[in-house]
Structures are given as C-alpha cells and as structure tokens.
Amino acid sequence: MNHFLDIHKTDAADLRGIIDSAKAVKNARNGKPKGALDADLPLKDHMVALIFEKPSTRTRVSFDVGVRQMGGQTMVLSGKEMQLGHGETIADTARVLSRYVDMIMIRTFEEQVLLELAEYSDVPVINGLTDRTHPCQIMADILTYEEHRGSIAGKKVVWSGDGNNVCASFIHAAGQFGFDLTFTGPEVLDPEQGFVDLARSKGAKIEIVRDPAEAVAGADLVVTDTWVSMHDAQSARERRHNQLRPYQVNEELMSHANPDALFMHCLPAHRNEEATNVVMDGPNSVIFDEAENRLHAQKAVMRWCLGK
Ligand code: CP
Ligand code: NVA
C-alpha cells in the first residue's frame, strides 16, 4: 500500500503513472451517468473515511463520488465531531481507524496531523489539503493542462499571488514533471525557500520575479488562488488585499502571456479579487475542467494507494 502525502514524496514515475491512469479511467467512463459504476470496481468491499477539519466542496464531493463509482463506500467525518478534536492522540486515532476502514483521506490544518496519521495507520492515507500543501489539486491541474495542451514538461507556469499551500504543490510538481515555474507576488508572501530549493535540486527552473507583467511574459499557464486561505487569520484580510492587488490576474496581465496560455484557479474563488470575471470566464480559462478532474485524478490516486 502507498500513502499519497505530497507530490515531492511520490516517485516521478509513479506520478506519471497516476496521470496516465486518470486519463484512461476518465475516458473509460465515456459519458456514463455520474452515479454509474466503473466496469472493474477496484474499491468493491472497501470502506473509505473522509475526514474534514476545514470546509470543502470539491474535495468532499469528488472523493465521495469517486469511491462510489469504483464500487466502494464512504464515511464523511468532521474532525470536530471526532475524539480527534477532543484530545485523543493522532496515533491512537490512526490505529483505531485502521481497524475499521481500508483508506483514509484527511483535510487538516497542521501538516503534522497528516504525517502522524500516516505513520501510525495500517491503511493508505491521502492528503486532502493541509496549511502547507494540496497535492490532489495539482494532480488534477496537470491532468487538465495535458488534456488541453499536451505534455507539461518544459512549459512555463506562472503563479501570481500568495505563495500558499496550492503554490507549494505546484512548485513540487515542477521538480517532478519537469516544467519551469515563476512565482510573482509580494516578498512577504513568498513560497517556502525549502520547497523552492528542493524543486531546483530536481532540475526545475524556479524563478521569483516581483513585477507581474515581466513574470507572465511567455507563460503557457497562469495560476492564482484566493488571497486569504482557510488557515489565514481573517484579521489579515485587508493587509493581504493591499499586498496582493497588484498581482490580480486580469486581461492586462494575461496579455503578457503566450496567446494560448491557459488560466487556472483551484476554486473557491473570490470573483474580481484575485482574478477578474473576464479571465475566469474567458476562453483560456479551464477552472471547471480542473474541478471535474479532481474526481478522475483522485480515483487514479486511490487505485495507486491500494496497488490496483
Ligand atoms: N479546490 C478545493 O480543494 O476545493 P474545496 O475546498 O471546495 O475542496
Ligand atoms: N489556499 C486555499 C485553497 C483552498 C482549496 C486554502 O487553503 O484555503
């Protein structure tokens, strides 16, 4: 069995295999109704726990639907309602859950919770977002890019805005899938240097460019995310808006990218804040394909976790 904890902790060959399997799994459904079962039922007789310590629409629904399409059953749990939120250790929670379920997906705050759960779990654990990373999102994004434009290797991806958890997983992916990534944003919101160094050590060109127009020049893909993440203090909202406004993705900024550059946003979006509606709803935006591909990419991740 395999845990899916982060892009940089998974072999590059396995990541490529997951993307290719996601493409096959998606094509095999061939317009079937959403509730229809996949032909091979790889999760038949499997029970999957989906634990949420933060809100979610896409992660929650896509994992739930994905497990059911593969013939398994799900149990959606809120961290607050479990003993997890009332002092039971993560290690004991992992030991107990391993006796009941065949796989665990968790969305949490501190990365340490995910890591400890994986350390003491006898069943695969999947990272459904922590304060530091969001690997499932980036698997869906790579799938989406490649469906529209072919291999992402050697392409230029520009992240504009907050160097947050989603940005971190994009940086990890640059190292694993062989694309270049330019970050543009205010210095105080730079991505973690350790993540940048790691991707560089794997041969990725990671650049930090303060001027957004200069950063976006020649981009094949422009990505942004909310200016205030779930783990950020709401009191920081006004300050962050002031810091990030110059990095809004709008028509003017996109005009510096390659004419066929795609636009991505993991959603949920604050429309006309981090990106304008003209860009989000424009012809180069693939935001809803990304959302759909969460389902297909995660089904492939779950198969890989179970060795199926
Ligand atoms: N992109 C994403 O993870 O969305 P949710 O917060 O709705 O799960
Ligand atoms: N950066 C965002 C992503 C949400 C899917 C957050 O952590 O809130």
Domains of the chain: 32-132 (3.40.50.1370), 136-290 (3.40.50.1370)
Beta bridge partners of 271: 275
Taking the CA of residue 266 as reference, the ligand 2 atom at the shortest distance is 5
Beta bridge partners of 74: 48
Beta bridge partners of 127: 106
The answer to whether 295 is annotated as binding is no
The answer to whether the bond into 186 is cis (omega within 30° of 0) is no
Taking the CA of residue 58 as reference, the ligand 2 atom at the shortest distance is 5
pTM equals 0.97
Give the integer Cα–Cα distance in Å for 297 and 21: 8
For residue 108, which ligand has an atom nearest its CA?
Answer: 2
**Residue 136 CA, ligand 1 centroid: distance in Å:** 10
234 carries an active-site annotation: no
Catalytic residue among 141, 220, 266, 298: 266
Give the integer Cα–Cα distance in Å for 6 and 239: 30
Q: Which two tokens stand for residue 282?
A: 């424009």
Give the integer Cα–Cα distance in Å for 111 and 127: 9
pLDDT tens series, the chain, 308 aa: 999 999 999 999 999 999 999 999 999 998 899 999 999 999 999 999 999 999 999 999 999 999 999 999 999 999 888 888 678 999 999 999 999 999 999 999 999 999 999 999 999 999 999 999 999 999 999 999 999 999 999 999 999 999 999 999 999 999 999 999 999 999 999 999 999 999 999 999 999 999 999 999 999 999 999 999 999 998 999 999 999 999 999 999 999 999 999 999 999 999 999 999 999 999 999 999 999 999 999 999 999 999 99
Given ligand 1 and candidates 54, 59, 166, which is best to mutate, with the most ligand atoms within 8 Å of its CB? 59
95 carries an active-site annotation: no
**Residue 127 CA, ligand 1 centroid: distance in Å:** 12
245 carries an active-site annotation: no
Which value, to the nearest 10 degrees, does the dihedral of the CA atoms of residues 116, 78, 165, 250 take?
A: 170
Q: Which two tokens stand for residue 61?
A: 């629904």
**Residue 36 CA, ligand 2 centroid: distance in Å:** 30
CB of 57 closer than 6 angstroms to any ligand 1 atom? yes
239 carries an active-site annotation: no
Residues 14-19: contacts with CB under 8 Å, at least 24 apart: 14/304, 15/139, 15/173, 15/176, 15/177, 16/177, 17/304, 18/139, 18/297, 18/300, 18/301, 18/304, 19/139, 19/142, 19/143, 19/146, 19/297, 19/300
